[in-house]
Amino acid sequence: MSKSSSGRLLLNPHIILLGVGVALYAAQVLLFPAPRNPKYNINTPTYIALVVTLMGPWIATWAFGVTGYLRLESYARSIKDEASARPFRYLSRGIMFLVWGIIVATVISTFSSHHPSDVSINMPATIIDNYLYSIVPLAGFYYIWRAVQLLVHAKAKRKQFVDLATVVPAIALAALTAAYVYLVFTNPSRQVGVGTTPASYYLPDWLIVVSVIIPVVLSWTLGLLAVINIYRYQQKVAGFIYRRFMRTVAFGVIFIIGGSILVQALLSIGSQRLAGIGLGSALGIIYLFLVLQLAGYLLVSRGSKKLTLIETA
């Protein structure tokens, strides 16, 4: 990368905001460590190892996320024909929503984790975080779904790739929704905190249904449709070289959507039950989410860079 292009990149407002987000998160974690959950009984060296192995990949995920959607946007700009550029512009916007949703949610939840028993901080932080994990992904998944629709329509003359084979994902979605609703409403700390565990929602049940469950299930529906269609698109699109690059982007999008669905489902468990499954299992789920997100954003970033080469070679 030349000096001027790296200089331009550093002056990019998205990169500046990313720097602010990383600084806020890292300062909170490293300078003011949050009180440890007594249930886990973690000693200091283990705690430091956990912080480093979680914080490093998490910040890398944000960085790959931001570069991923910026590269997609750059690819869209390199396409002179607006109709062909639009799906990639939407894809970039969708990923931008998802990335910033997790960045802002992480900064807020890290801040509130320093004040576990202060309801005046915990309540608004939890409510905002829940909306960042429900409404923001809905916007992100909508744009990704729309982008894939446009790609599929351009390829298949307004014929969607959704057919009888989507019955299995539809059943999976129904099962996931049922499990999600069950987990939300059997969460004993959903409205008020229990003991030292803060509440998961701080909202009445009807508001949980309207403003959290419905947006989450809608976003899963759009996300799964996008996954099915982008998977089939990368299989069927013409062009040996184009298909190879598009496949990288498609699998990136599939991993990102998978990771987002996992974290939304995870939130329904509630911190009390999460503590109950043990530190090892909880960390296993968190690392799985991290790997999915990191791989997803990395693949989108690499695939977009390769696609841009076709437009500039």
Cα dihedral across residues 19, 22, 24, 30: positive or negative: negative
Question: In terms of CB distance, is 72 or 203 closer to other proteins?
Answer: 72
Please count the other Cβ atoms lying within 10 Å of the Cβ belonging to residue 134.
Answer: 22
Q: Spell out, one character per residue from 290 to 309, where the chain touches other proteins: x when CB under 8 A holds, - when not.
A: ----------------xx-x
Chain residues 229-268 in contact with other proteins, contact rule CB under 8 A? 237-244, 246
Helix 82-113 to helix 44-78 angle (10° resolution) is 160
Q: Is 39 helix (H, G, I), strand (E, B) or coil?
A: coil
Q: How many residues bind other proteins (CB under 8 A)?
A: 21
Question: In terms of CB distance, is 132 or 151 closer to other proteins?
Answer: 151
Q: Spell out, one character per residue from 138 to 157, where the chain touches other proteins: x when CB under 8 A holds, - when not.
A: ----------------xx--
Q: How far is the CB of 248 from other proteins (least distance, A)?
A: 13
Chain residues 15-54 in contact with other proteins, contact rule CB under 8 A? none
Phi, psi of 280 (to 5 degrees): -60, -50
The one among 81, 82, 157, 164 contacting other proteins by CB under 8 A: 81
User: Which part of the chain contacts other proteins (CB under 8 A), choosing from 74-82, 118-126, 182-190, 222-230?
Assistant: 74-82
Question: In terms of CB distance, is 150 or 184 closer to other proteins?
Answer: 150
Question: In terms of CB distance, is 165 or 241 closer to other proteins?
Answer: 241
The verdict on 207 binding other proteins (CB under 8 A) reads: no
Question: In terms of CB distance, is 60 or 310 closer to other proteins?
Answer: 310
Residue 310 neighbours by CB under 8 Å, 6+ apart: 241, 242, 245
N-term to C-term CA, the chain: 17
The verdict on 79 binding other proteins (CB under 8 A) reads: yes
Half-sphere exposure of 293 (CA within 13 A, CB side): 28
C-alpha distances in Å from residue 188, one per residue of 17, 119, 272: 37, 17, 8
C-alpha distances in Å from residue 134, one per residue of 65, 129, 179, 220, 293: 19, 9, 17, 10, 17
Question: In terms of CB distance, is 292 or 307 closer to other proteins?
Answer: 307
The verdict on 114 binding other proteins (CB under 8 A) reads: no
